[in-house]
Amino acid sequence: MFDYCIVGAGLAGCVLAERLASQAGRRVLVVERRDHIGGNCFDYYDEAGILVHKYGPHYFRTNRRHVFAYLSQFTDWHYVYYRIRVMVDGRLVPLPINLDTVNELYGSSWDSEACQAFFARTRATIPQPANSEEVILAKVGRDLYEKIYEAYTVKQWGLSPRELDPSVCARIPVRFNRDDRYFTDRYQAMPKDGYHRLFARLLAHPKIHLLLKTDWHEIRQAIPFGKLIYTGPIDAFFDHCYGRLPYRSLRFEHETLDQEVFQPVSQVNYPVDYDFTRIVEIKHVTGQRHPKTTIVREYPEADGEPYYPVPRPESQALLEQYLAAARPTGVHFIGRLAQYRYLNMDEVVDEALALFERLAAAEVE
Ligand code: FAD
């Protein structure tokens, strides 16, 4: 008899398993349908011996000191700033848009003030943007919208920015200085020995039992347990009884090259050219030295593994139905699939730690 059954060995499931076993002495069963732990953060050494991220690049960063401190118990870090370039009119320029992006694209040599004046002239006046196109036009104006965002969004989502909720593009930053870091969070680092080792250490407790290649739906009647924590898709939990929540998926095409470096930074976005959205060379941020390199091209797709919830009013309405069905079950739904929300890794850890505190407090009462 297990005290807890946790469905999914991703970040949410592994953090909760670790806390429940090590801090509350609970016996925990973790059930994972894939053949590995780590969920979408999983990484591995490919045939050439290069550490690659199986499900797209995972750049860890956070402003939450307690999240960083918690994970630091299970890994050392390779400290690194993430840098991204975007291919526009045949040039590689910094993303997010900064002073250098503007100067390189317009052949200008503006300073910060002149750059701000440029944006003041070009951005559209839209006090309350109703969709993602309006959000971007209000931030950068039409030319940069068309060069950097419009076609990329169509490739990524299969929808025009006009059809997407304003929240999808609400956080696009524009900088008037030369800071070319992709993120500005206080802590930015990759697990020194890779994500897979970090996850293995989270689960390395004698009270945690792991079942890989096991779908919860196939064994749910067979295993006795106390409480259930579910990190899979919420609509699948209810056998899609109200319909399927839409997701955007990705296909990853790996290629190993007989050269040390392929591109100047870990990620280059291709908004207009090609069918792929980006090429990732993760070596730049894992810090691995190797005479060869592996690059990954990402092709957005409608079908496949569920990666990105599609933020539209219809999906929100469907989600509300599932959330209402979830409330009386006594099951704890946590993580990006169970909540149908795009969550960064640090948000997932934060929410898992908070759920553990609530569970521990409820048991004391
Ligand atoms: P998951 O990692 O999806 O884990 C859920 C697990 O449940 C999966 O392993 C799944 O196989 C399993 N499961 C589902 N159903 C069942 C079932 N019926 N039975 C058994 N097991 C089941 N975040 C960042 O902070 N930085 C980044 O750079 C970043 N890049 C990303 C890039 C991509 C392409 C994607 C898709 C996400 C990215 N993220 C990034 C987000 C990050 O992946 C998530 O925050 C994190 O993985 C969520 O963890 P989770 O445990 O909620 O979900």
**Tens digit of each residue's pLDDT (9 = 90 or more) over 107-137:** 999 999 999 999 999 999 999 999 999 999 9
The CB-side HSE value for 278 (13 A sphere, CA atoms) comes to: 19
Query: Rounded to the nearest whole angstrom, what is the distance from the C-alpha of residue 273 to the centroid of ligand 1?
Result: 29
Q: Over the chain, what HEC string results?
A: CEEEEEECCCHHHHHHHHHHHHHHCCCEEEECCCCCCCHHHCEEECCCCCEEECCCCCCCEECCHHHHHHHCCCCCEEECCCCEEEEECCEEEEECECHHHHHHHHCCCCCHHHHHHHHHHHCCCCCCCCCHHHHHHHHHHHHHHHHHHHHHHHHHHCCCHHHCCHHHHCCCCECCCCCCCCCCCCEEEEECCCHHHHHHHHHCCCCEEEECCCCHHHHCCCCCEEEEEECCCHHHHCCCCCCCCCEEEEEEEEEEECCCCCCCCCEEECCCCCCCCEEECCHHHHCCCCCCEEEEEEEEECCCCCCEECCCHHHHHHHHHHHHHHHHHCCEECCCCCCCCCCCHHHHHHHHHHHHHHHHHHHHC
Ligand 1, residues 203, 216, 253, 345: which to mutate, most atoms within 8 A of Cβ? 345
Q: How far apart are CA 112 and CA 118, in angstroms?
A: 10
Find out whether the beta carbon of 8 lies less than 6 Å from any atom of ligand 1.
Answer: yes
Q: How far apart are CA 217 and CA 235, in angstroms?
A: 12
Which amino acid residue places its CA nearest to atom 4 of ligand 1?
Answer: 10
Query: Rounded to the nearest whole angstrom, what is the distance from the C-alpha of residue 215 to the centroid of ligand 1?
Result: 16
Q: Is the pLDDT of residue 171 over 90?
A: no
Q: Is the pLDDT of residue 351 over 70?
A: yes
Ligand 1 atom closest to 338 (CA): 52
Ligand 1 atom closest to 250 (CA): 34
pLDDT per position as a tens digit, 233-246: 999 999 999 999 99
Average pLDDT over residues 152-159: 92
pLDDT of residue 329: 96
Structure tokens at 281: 């060379």
* Burial of 50: CB neighbours in 10 Å, binned 0-12, 13-18, 19+: buried
pLDDT of residue 170: 82
Average pLDDT over residues 280-300: 97
Find out whether the beta carbon of 84 lies less than 6 Å from any atom of ligand 1.
Answer: no
Query: Rounded to the nearest whole angstrom, what is the distance from the C-alpha of residue 361 to the centroid of ligand 1?
Result: 27
Find out whether the beta carbon of 307 lies less than 6 Å from any atom of ligand 1.
Answer: yes
Which amino acid residue places its CA nearest to atom 10 of ligand 1?
Answer: 8
Query: Rounded to the nearest whole angstrom, what is the distance from the C-alpha of residue 8 to the centroid of ligand 1?
Result: 9
Q: Is the pLDDT of residue 218 over 80?
A: yes
Residues with Cβ within 8 Å of 52's Cβ and at least 6 positions away in sequence, in order, are 43, 44, 45, 46, 254, 282, 294, 296
Q: Is the pLDDT of residue 364 over 80?
A: no
Which amino acid residue places its CA nearest to atom 36 of ligand 1?
Answer: 307
Report yes or no: 242 and 321 within 8 Å, Cβ to Cβ.
yes
Query: Rounded to the nearest whole angstrom, what is the distance from the C-alpha of residue 75 to the centroid of ligand 1?
Result: 19
Q: How far apart are CA 338 and CA 281, in angstroms?
A: 30
pLDDT per position as a tens digit, 69-78: 999 999 999 9
pLDDT of residue 365: 66
Structure confidence at residue 201 as a pLDDT band (50, 70, 90)? very high
Report yes or no: 192 and 78 within 8 Å, Cβ to Cβ.
yes
Q: Is the pLDDT of residue 348 over 70?
A: yes
Average pLDDT over residues 27-41: 98
Ligand 1, residues 336, 339, 356: which to mutate, most atoms within 8 A of Cβ? 336
Q: Is the pLDDT of residue 313 over 90?
A: no
pLDDT per position as a tens digit, 322-339: 999 999 999 999 999 999
Q: Is the pLDDT of residue 94 over 70?
A: yes
Average pLDDT over residues 240-254: 97
Q: How far apart are CA 55 and CA 105, in angstroms?
A: 32
pLDDT of residue 311: 81
pLDDT of residue 162: 93
Query: Rounded to the nearest whole angstrom, what is the distance from the C-alpha of residue 9 to the centroid of ligand 1?
Result: 9
Average pLDDT over residues 91-95: 96
Find out whether the beta carbon of 161 lies less than 6 Å from any atom of ligand 1.
Answer: no
Query: Rounded to the nearest whole angstrom, what is the distance from the C-alpha of residue 336 to the centroid of ligand 1?
Result: 7
Average pLDDT over residues 4-30: 98
| Cα separation values, 285 from 68, 178, 194, 339, Å | 18, 20, 11, 29
Ligand 1 atom closest to 237 (CA): 18
Average pLDDT over residues 32-55: 98
The mean predicted confidence, pLDDT, of the chain is: 96
Q: How far apart are CA 30 and CA 169, in angstroms?
A: 35
Percent of all residues in the chain with a pLDDT value above 70, rounded to a whole number: 99
Query: Rounded to the nearest whole angstrom, what is the distance from the C-alpha of residue 41 to the centroid of ligand 1?
Result: 7
Which amino acid residue places its CA nearest to atom 16 of ligand 1?
Answer: 232
362 or 12, greater pLDDT = 12
